[in-house]
C-alpha cells in the first residue's frame, strides 16, 4: 500500500488547481497577461527597474525614501569613494538595476583601530574590498541582464524597535500590492539566518500576511509552509502588528500616482526616527503574497476593476475603500 501513502502525501503537499481557481488564486500567466501587460506601460518600466530613477521621481513627488549619500557611475569615481562617503559610518551600497537582494553591501560602523568599515556581520571590509565590490556592481555582476550598472550609496535604515526579534540580521520590509492606486494585499518579509539576512522569500525569509484594515499578522509561512515562530529568534509571529499603518498604506497608494504603473509592488520600511519610507518599486511583484495571506488576489483585483469613477478618488479615499473591503480583522 506504499503507492496509496505516496498518493496521500502528494495530495497533502500540492494544491488542487481547481480549488485554487475557486479561491481566486492568481497564477503567473494571469498576472502577466491580464494585469502587468494590460496596466503597466513598458515605457514606464525604467522608472522602477532603475533605483536611481525611482528615487528621483519619489523626491519630486515628496515621497520619503532613504537619504541618498551619493552614486558611483564610472570607474574613475571609485578612486574617490572615501571622499564621497565623507563622515558617514553607516550606509548601504546597492546596484541601481539589482534584483533579489544581490550586490547589497551594508556597513554599520567604522573601526578606528584598523581604519576599515564594519559590515553587519561584524567583519571588517578594507578599502580594496570596498572598491572591488563597487567595480563588480559597475560591471553588471549583480544586475538584470548583466548590463553595466550604477552603484547607489544610501543612508542606513534603523528599523523600528517594535520589530525587535522579528528579523535576523536584516531590515524587515512591508510589501504592498497596489492596483490602480488601491492597496489590495500586504505582507511583511522577515529575514532569517537561512536567507543570509535578506528579506527574500525564495531564499528562506519568513513571509507574514498582513491585514489591510488593521496591520496585524494574518499568518506566517517559510518555504511556503505555515509556521508560528521565527526560526531564529522564536518570536511569536501572530503578535506582529505594523505601526503607522495608515501612513504605510497611503505611502503605497501614492506610488501609483507617482509612477503611472497600474499594478505594482511597493516595498516600504519603517525607520525608527523617520517613519515609513519607500525602499523600492517592483513592476512584476511575485505571487507568494497570496500564500502568506491564505487568500487569492483575483477577487480583490476584479472588485477594483468594476469600480466606476475611481480616478476621482484621493489617496485617503482609496485607502479607506481598501481597508473596508479587504480587511480580515475588525479594527481595535
Question: Any idea where the domains of the chain sit in the sequence?
Answer: 21-52+160-325, 67-155
Dist CA 179 CA 289 (whole Å): 14
What stretch of H or E contains 292? helix 289-293
Q: Which three cell numbers stand for residue 227?
A: 509556521
| Nearest of 174, 181, 158 to residue 244 by alpha carbon | 174
How high is the pLDDT of residue 311? 84
Chain-centroid distance, C-alpha 290: 15
Q: Which residues does residue 190 pair with via DSSP β-bridges, in sequence order?
A: 206
Q: By three-state DSSP, how is residue 326 classified?
A: helix
* CA neighbours closer than 13 Å in the CB half-sphere of residue 153: 22
Closest CA to 87 of 112, 124, 106, 120: 112
Q: Is 125 helix (H, G, I), strand (E, B) or coil?
A: strand
Name 161's bridge partners. Answer: none
CB 212 within 8 A of CB 326: yes
CATH class of 21-52+160-325: alpha beta
pLDDT of residue 240: 95
Query: What pTM, to 2 d.p., does this model score?
Result: 0.91
CB 213 within 8 A of CB 329: yes
The CB density around residue 150, as the number of other CB atoms within 10 Å, is 19
The predicted pLDDT at position 265 comes to 96
In terms of Cα–Cα distance, which of 176, 332, 331, 157 is closest to 249?
176
Whole-angstrom distance, CA of residue 235 vs CA of residue 205:
14
At residue 18, the pLDDT reads 62
* CATH tag, 67-155: 3.30.1490
pLDDT along the chain (332 residues), means of 10: 58 66 86 95 92 92 93 93 93 89 88 89 90 95 87 91 86 95 97 82 92 97 94 94 96 96 96 93 93 95 92 94 94 72
Q: Is the dihedral of CA 92, 98, 99, 103 positive or negative?
A: negative
The span from the CA of 206 to the CA of 168, in Å, is 10
Amino acid at each position: 500500500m506504499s503507492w496509496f501513502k505516496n498518493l496521500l502525501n502528494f495530495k497533502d503537499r500540492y494544491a488542487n488547481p481547481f480549488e485554487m481557481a475557486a479561491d481566486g488564486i492568481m497564477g503567473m500567466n494571469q498576472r502577466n497577461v491580464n494585469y502587468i501587460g494590460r496596466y503597466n506601460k513598458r515605457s514606464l518600466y525604467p522608472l522602477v527597474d532603475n533605483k536611481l530613477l525611482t528615487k528621483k521621481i519619489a523626491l519630486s513627488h515628496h515621497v520619503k525614501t532613504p537619504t541618498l549619500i551619493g552614486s558611483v557611475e564610472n570607474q574613475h569615481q571609485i578612486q574617490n569613494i572615501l571622499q564621497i562617503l565623507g563622515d558617514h559610518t553607516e550606509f548601504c551600497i546597492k546596484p541601481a538595476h539589482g534584483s533579489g537582494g544581490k550586490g547589497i553591501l551594508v556597513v554599520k560602523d567604522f573601526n578606528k583601530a584598523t581604519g576599515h568599515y564594519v559590515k553587519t556581520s561584524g567583519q571588517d571590509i578594507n578599502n580594496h574590498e570596498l572598491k572591488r565590490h563597487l567595480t563588480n556592481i559597475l560591471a553588471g555582476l549583480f544586475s538584470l541582464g548583466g548590463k553595466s550598472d550604477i552603484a547607489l550609496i544610501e543612508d542606513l535604515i534603523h528599523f523600528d524597535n517594535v520589530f525587535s526579534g522579528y528579523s535576523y540580521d536584516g531590515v524587515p520590509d512591508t510589501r504592498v500590492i497596489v492596483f490602480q492606486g488601491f492597496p489590495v494585499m500586504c505582507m511583511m518579509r522577515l529575514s532569517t539566518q537561512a536567507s543570509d539576512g535578506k528579506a527574500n522569500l525564495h531564499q528562506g525569509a519568513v513571509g507574514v500576511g498582513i491585514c489591510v484594515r488593521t496591520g496585524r499578522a494574518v499568518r506566517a509561512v517559510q518555504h511556503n509552509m505555515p509556521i508560528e515562530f521565527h526560526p531564529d529568534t522564536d518570536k511569536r509571529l501572530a503578535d506582529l502588528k505594523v505601526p503607522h499603518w495608515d501612513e504605510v498604506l497611503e505611502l503605497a497608494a501614492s506610488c501609483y500616482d507617482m509612477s503611472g504603473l497600474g499594478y505594482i509592488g511597493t516595498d516600504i520600511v519603517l525607520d525608527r526616527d523617520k517613519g515609513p519610507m519607500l525602499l523600492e518599486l517592483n513592476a512584476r511583484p511575485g505571487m507568494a503574497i497570496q500564500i502568506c495571506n491564505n487568500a487569492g488576489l483575483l477577487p480583490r483585483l476584479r472588485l477594483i476593476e468594476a469600480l466606476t469613477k475611481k480616478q476621482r478618488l484621493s489617496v485617503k479615499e482609496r485607502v479607506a475603500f481598501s481597508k473596508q473591503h479587504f480587511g480580515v480583522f475588525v479594527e481595535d
